[in-house]
Structure 1
């Protein structure tokens, strides 16, 4: 019976994995120290518009970047095309995002820090803000949202289970930023229906 249940539902014109409703997640910086900013073998996916916004913000955040990050940006810019053909933020030493800054033993995004201080208007790439949701462009032109599990986020998964925080609720702000408040209301309605049906 369980494996006959749908694993994906349609919310507006977006295909959403049931795991986004079912799985629990809540970032725990005290435990992970922002490890997601410095792990992996490629930068964060970005759009052309985001690259332009980041380029506008570079001068403001520049003093907070490491010398290595500044050298990478000087050499190849704020973004590059990775081996899979995706446009991603530039990285240092094969892993650290160039916009990683360290403070109090934690890694932070220099862009987000400047945004929250009111210094720039761009927060950070939507791909970063949406994590652990990964957005995929489908061949028919629609968008899919999948839940991605990464070992560096095990503390966030544990905290999510402790607090009962589902992924879609933890990411309310970036989901609204990406798809709009009206779409998020439909997502909440879908969650209520899935609960009613005993699927989550």
Structure 2
């Protein structure tokens, strides 16, 4: 592990390769799992603000869940997560005519209808950030549904931290990311990576 400021980064984030392959996975990471996506407290208001912009794109089942319990809930581990439909789909998922899952919030962002991209935990995936008071831990989360992304990342030789440059900057800032790149280059020179 390396430490930059109060953030500890796992070597896996620097060594492992990853590049989403949406054609292969069909967006399954927004569907599978035992809970919704982790949400930071300040993101709840943003999710509620974007809701009217994407409401008509959500499934009737998702709208019913949101009307009943809201955009987030507290899961069995005590974490705040996006609400889900049928213990499966995130309420913000939508499908195209080919059955590919996408995020209605990200779609609205890309269309210029909102300045909120999507929850940072979604943007950062397959990185998960743990908050331990004095420091944050940045870890690579392995999941079988992302096998195609691991293979494509290996083919393209794209490390996780480079694939996730934009969300890492969004989370920790440009200076932090620049320092991460310097540390990685130094580690390569020393033969550690």
Establish whether TM, by shorter chain, passes 0.5: yes
Tell me the equivalent position of 1:5.
Answer: none
- Aligned-partner Cα distance in 2 for 1:38–1:44: 10
TM-score (normalizing by structure 1): 0.94
- Aligned-partner Cα distance in 2 for 1:144–1:54: 25
Say if 2:13 and 2:159, in contact at 8 Å, map to a contact too.
Answer: yes
Q: Tell me whether 1:131 sits opposite 2:125 in the alignment.
A: yes
Deviation at 1:141, TM superposition (A): 2.3
Say if 1:27 and 1:156, in contact at 8 Å, map to a contact too.
Answer: yes
Tell me the equivalent position of 1:163.
Answer: 156
Give 3-state SS (helix, strand or coil) of 1:135's partner: strand
Give a deviation string over 1:54-81, Cα, whole Å, max 9, x none.
Answer: 0001011000000000000000000000
Tell me the equivalent position of 1:43.
Answer: 36
Residues 158-197 of structure 1 mapped to structure 2, 5 A cutoff:
158-197=151-190
Give a deviation string over 1:40-97, Cα, whole Å, max 9, x none.
Answer: 0100000121010000010110000000000000000000000000000000000110
- Aligned-partner Cα distance in 2 for 1:197–1:180: 26
- Aligned-partner Cα distance in 1 for 2:66–2:91: 8
Tell me the equivalent position of 2:53.
Answer: 60
Give a deviation string over 1:105-131, Cα, whole Å, max 9, x none.
Answer: 210000000011011121100001111
Say if 1:12 and 1:186, in contact at 8 Å, map to a contact too.
Answer: no
Give 3-state SS (helix, strand or coil) of 1:10's partner: strand
Show structure 1 runs of 4+ deviating over 3 A. none
Say if 1:100 and 1:110, in contact at 8 Å, map to a contact too.
Answer: yes
Q: Tell me whether 1:111 sits opposite 2:136 in the alignment.
A: no
Deviation at 1:194, TM superposition (A): 1.4
Q: Tell me whether 1:11 sits opposite 2:4 in the alignment.
A: yes
What CA RMSD, in Å, does the superposition of the two structures yield over aligned residues? 0.7
Deviation at 1:13, TM superposition (A): 1.9
TM-score (normalizing by structure 2): 0.98
Tell me the equivalent position of 2:76.
Answer: 83
Deviation at 1:12, TM superposition (A): 2.2
Tell me the equivalent position of 2:91.
Answer: 98
- Aligned-partner Cα distance in 1 for 2:55–2:26: 22
